Chains A and B, each alone.
Chain A
Amino acid sequence: MSRTSTLGRRGVLAGATGLALAFAFRGPESAEAAGPAALDAPSLNAPALNAYVRIGPDGTITIQAPVPEMGQGSDTSLPLILAEELDADWSRVRIATAPVRPAFDSPIFRSQFVVASLSVRGYWMPLRIAGAQARRVLLEAVAARWGVPVAELTTEPSVVVHAASGRRISYGEVAAFATVPATLPEITPAALKPVSAFRLIGRDVPRHDVPAKALGQTVFAIDVRLPGMLHATVARSPGLGARPVSHNGAELLRRPGITHVIPLDQGVAIVGERIEAVLAARRALRVQWSPGEGPAHESDAALASYLTDARDTSRSGVTAGRAGEAAQAIAAAARVHTAEFATDYVYHAQMEPLACVASITAEGVEIWDGTQWPSQVRDEAARIAGVPAERVKVNMLTMGGGFGRRAAIDTSIETVHIAKAVGRPVKVMATREDDIANAHARPMTAHRIDVGLDAEGRITGWRHRLAADLVVPILYGRGRLDAQRGVHHIVTCHANVAQYDVPATLTEHVYREHGVRTAPWRGIGAGPNAFAVEAVIDDLARQARTDPLAYRMALLRDARAKAVLQAVGEMADWGRRREGTSLGIGFARLGLPQLGESLSATVAEVALDRAHGRIRVLRLWCAADIGLAVQPRNAMRQIEGSLLWGVSSALTERLTFRDGAVQQSNFTDYEVLRASDTPEVHVRLIRSGEMPLPAGELGLGTVAPAISNAVLAATGRRLNIMPFTPERVRAALAA
């Protein structure tokens, strides 16, 4: 289906089946996108986005959720936005999952693509307008039937009211006779409900997906079972570009229940009638791989070389951000403060290992997938199967965690290849060991920050040199990086210090590529970058003999930022000294400047066991400004999750490579946060404006600096390599 044909489509289904509306309009927010060369937001002057709502004669209102659920709650919050403007009785709303079609593309990504915490932000205005349009169609139908001016009609939840005559009619009754006009009513943003009139947005409604999850009834990709389906698992080559040269597949095929051993581009698939036979054969599989794209990567050695790159200003990097003349300001400074930081690779560790089901028939391809990028799965499946995209049906299933890993669709692609090869439906499931061996890591990073200060201690220039692997070419292809003139927005995001009053800043990125598979990882570059930046801010406060919170308050540019800082100080009772613990603070932004940034500040209360080098985070307080929260409770949960990812990645998570391969094999040696290490978490939302801003990754970047700053406050020693393992903590204390 082409986009233009979608634009012209109108659906009319009246009578027994009720009223179905297919909406078409151009993205209304184009003015907002007039910003810097948009990276992930090329333009909001989007192709058509259609939201689809059906009203049954029984009053049931079915709303399609345009993107898949992965725990972020958009399965509820997106339909809720449409229901608000439709003035729907929420108890009569049924939520369905949309098909994968251009009509449901996000206007930001021009794709059904769930990344960067932008689903609510992206679909906000299109869904409001779609809801308002549907309501208007109902009003006009009633006005015509009753012979009254449409302006005299109002609505209450799922009821049209004519106050002058006292008449009322339910949406279901209207749907039984209404037809959709040839030209849908124009709705301008000015005609939308005022925010003060919202009945649903901003109030918590129960999440639609939760009851089935508590009962084990939610179907994840790994749970799909089809008649005649084969099971498969894939051994992935250790690094990018490494291909299977030879394997013992012939021997494995003699095992009962094993039907195929299939060499893939960068892997070997074992296929069989039963999962247990496939898993046993996987353990017996031996593959010889060709050398990959990079040298045999050794992450310990690489960390040192990354730091050398970050330090060596003669090695020029790509300028990722620049304001004023930072290098000159630093050269002319009365004093220069210099600090270095590094972070290890981290793994997503989503609880559902990668899984996908595909079936190829004469009709086309059908896929059952938990993917963050359904549109790309559709297009790749069409290419592999050699059919038009309209003959690919992608069922968007709930993901057992995404966090960026399922933005990469490597397993979906392999599943289609395998289904094509075996001629039967097939489910591919990664073992945990293969999921981690095939980790698409957050890049390892090294940072060097130089800050120029004048004789009074005022900051005159700030240079952040970052050495890190790339994500963009692996996720989007080489052409994308070229189109961005080499600027790697995923790794460099928030490396600058735009929130602070610094007259000249420069962010440089020195590339490193080792054939390591990478992907967006919750919070993307904000994790490492906010760590480095916020640690330096504390260093400067300490040198100025100023309280770190007060130092930030004086340096922050805008009132929203100061408000979150003020709030978190109150929440944590910042000025109160603790016995045996210390406090540290961190600040972080989230989002794209041209679409609006959310803001967060976090205080961590930390206990340090000096003898063992063990850090325990006891409490976290976070104040967050996400604009207008559509579902406040859920937004707070997302922020809490993000904060706890911050704790986990700051303290234990570490993916290492030896001889080009991942060394960890399971949760036994890749340690994520457990119940017993979970701090108490207090989140407070601060409302600002009338636009929902990103929430799902907000706060992650605040935690590592808050912990490191708390240790600094207690010991005067800086933890500058993440994660803060006991060995690293002991080394820092002994230094």
Chain B
Amino acid sequence: MISLTVNDRPVTVAAEPDTPLLWVLREHLGLTGTKYGCGVAACGACTVHLDGAAVRACALPASEAAGRAVTTIEGLPGGAQNPLVRAWVAVEAPQCGYCQTGQIMQAATLLARTPQPSRAEILAHMDGNLCRCASYNQIVEAIQQAARGA
């Protein structure tokens, strides 16, 4: 049994300690907005926040999240009114959309520390999050739009 806080809610799941956090979220808790892409922290599709920091849930044993606060896309503050989500929708960043929740979770940690990032800062921060549709330029635009508070 592992106890952790997910989206401000304390939960206890019957998972082995070495189960990747990704499967605890998706299968034990039904939070399928966090995606499986590679299983080796190489694509960013599973990005969530652990105590506010962006982590790859596919490569993080659930035991390491025990007693800590996990935030997934479902728990992103403001939901549809979150500035990043609003910018993502306004810019229409997603194409297939599969990687986009991970992109948004990754982007959120950039804006938390760099409120007005440059294109180069954004590209560097987002470099671990693959988008096969190659929506990278739209992701830059959406992050800058969210930063402007538009």
Contacts and interface: CB of A to CB of B under 8 A. Distances in A.
Interface string A699-729: 0000000000000000000000000000000
A429 B19 contact: no
A672 interface: yes
B40 to A, nearest CB: 6
A216 B124 contact: no
A699 B12 CA distance: 51
B144 interface: no
B57 interface: no
Contact of A276 (B20, B74, B99, B139): B20
A400 B94 contact: no
B94 A210 contact: yes
B96 A401 contact: yes
A455 B38 CA distance: 57
B4 interface: no
Contacts, number: 171
Most chain A CB within a 10 A radius of its CB, from B27, B45, B122, B131:
B131
B20 A217 contact: no
B71 interface: no
A433 B72 CA distance: 25
A210 B33 CA distance: 14
Interface in B19-50: 19-20, 23, 26-27, 30, 32-40, 42-43, 45
A210 B92 contact: yes
Interface in A630-675: 633-634, 637-638, 640-641, 644-645, 648, 666-668, 672-675
A676 B140 CA distance: 11
A212 B74 CA distance: 11
A71 B39 contact: no
Contact of B94 (A214, A279, A349, A673): A214
Contacts of B43: 351, 432, 667
Given A398-B97, A641-B133, A675-B127, A214 B104 contact: yes
A29 interface: no
Contact of A225 (B30, B74, B95, B135): B30
Most chain B CB within a 10 A radius of its CB, from A210, A214, A429:
A214
A59 B71 CA distance: 40
A275 interface: yes
A213 interface: yes
A678 interface: yes
B139 A675 contact: yes
A667 B15 CA distance: 28
Nearest to B142: A214
A667 B42 CA distance: 6
Contact of B134 (A352, A400, A645): A645
Contacts of B34: 216
A350 interface: yes
Given A210-B89, A352-B98, A398-B97, A275 B23 contact: yes
Given A213-B100, A276-B20, A641 B135 contact: yes
Interface in B122-150: 122-124, 126-140
Interface in B90-115: 92-101, 104
A403 interface: yes
Given A211-B80, A219-B32, A222-B36, A674 B127 contact: yes
A22 interface: no
A349 B132 contact: yes
A675 B97 contact: no
Contacts of B79: 215
Contacts of A73: 95
B100 A637 contact: no
Interface string A350-374: 1111000000000000000000000
A227 to B, nearest CB: 12
A21 to B, nearest CB: 31
A58 interface: no
5 contacts: A213-B94, A276-B20, A352-B35, A672-B132, A675-B126
Interface of B: 15-16, 19-20, 23, 26-27, 30, 32-40, 42-43, 45, 72-74, 79-80, 85, 88-89, 92-101, 104, 122-124, 126-140
Interface of A: 70-73, 206-207, 209-220, 222-223, 225, 274-276, 279, 349-353, 398-403, 429, 431-433, 633-634, 637-638, 640-641, 644-645, 648, 666-668, 672-676, 678, 680-681
